[in-house]
Amino acid sequence: MPNYLCLQRSVPNEGGAEASASDMQAMYARFNEWREKFKDNLTDLGGRLGEGKLVTDPGSGDGPFVEVKELVGGYMIVSAGSLDEAAQIASGCPGLVRPGSGVEVVEIRTP
């Protein structure tokens, strides 16, 4: 099965209420359930991404890419039969798709 790279992106429309301690505990439980359910698909749970830097041919500058580091919050790799299935798995991950956050799913092509 092909692997898919999932990138968490912040999307405009911030302002979701701050999660309460009970919300967080519920989210933690849902995450564990989700991970159990898709354990065969979760190739790499990845992690959060910090600051980044784009290295390009000298002279081409930072380009417009400099914003990327502010938009991508984390990544993971899932294996799935199709892009749609991968997207479905990712969207079930608690906290990934919510007000202020979305996920971009891209196939990792292997030659």
Partner 1 sequence: MSAPELVEDFFRHEYGRLVATLVRRVGVQHLAAVEDAVQGALLTALQSWPLRGRPKQPSAWLYTVASNALVGQLRQGRRRQELLDQRLPVASAVQAPPDITVLGSEMQDDLLRLLFVCCHESLPEQTQVVLALKALCGFSVKEIAQRLLVRQASVYKRLERARARLRDHRELDDLGPAQYEQRMPAVHRIIYAVFTEGYLSNHASQAIRSELCREALRLGRLLVQHPQGQIPETFALLALMHLHAARLGAREDGAGGLVLLQDQDRSRWDAHEIAEGLQWLQRSAEGDRFCRYHAEAGIAAEHCLAPSFEQTGWQRIVQCYELLERISPSALHTLNRAVAVAEWKGPQAGLQVLAGLEPPTWLQGSYMWSAVLADLHRRCGHEAKAARYRELALDAAPSPAVRALLRRRFAQTLCD
Provide the strand spans (E) within 1-111: 3-10, 42-48, 72-79, 101-108
* Distance, CA of 76 to chain centre: 6
Burial class (CB in 10 A: 0-12, 13-18, 19+), 76: buried
In the list 14, 48, 50, 53, the residue contacting partner 1 (rule: CB under 8 A) is 48
In the list 1, 29, 54, 83, the residue contacting partner 1 (rule: CB under 8 A) is 29
Residue 15 interacts with partner 1 (CB under 8 A): yes or no: no
Residue 35 interacts with partner 1 (CB under 8 A): yes or no: yes
Of residues 66 and 69, the one with the C-beta less far from partner 1: 69
Residues lying near partner 1 in the complex (CB under 8 A) are found at 17-25, 27-29, 31-32, 35-36, 45-48, 95
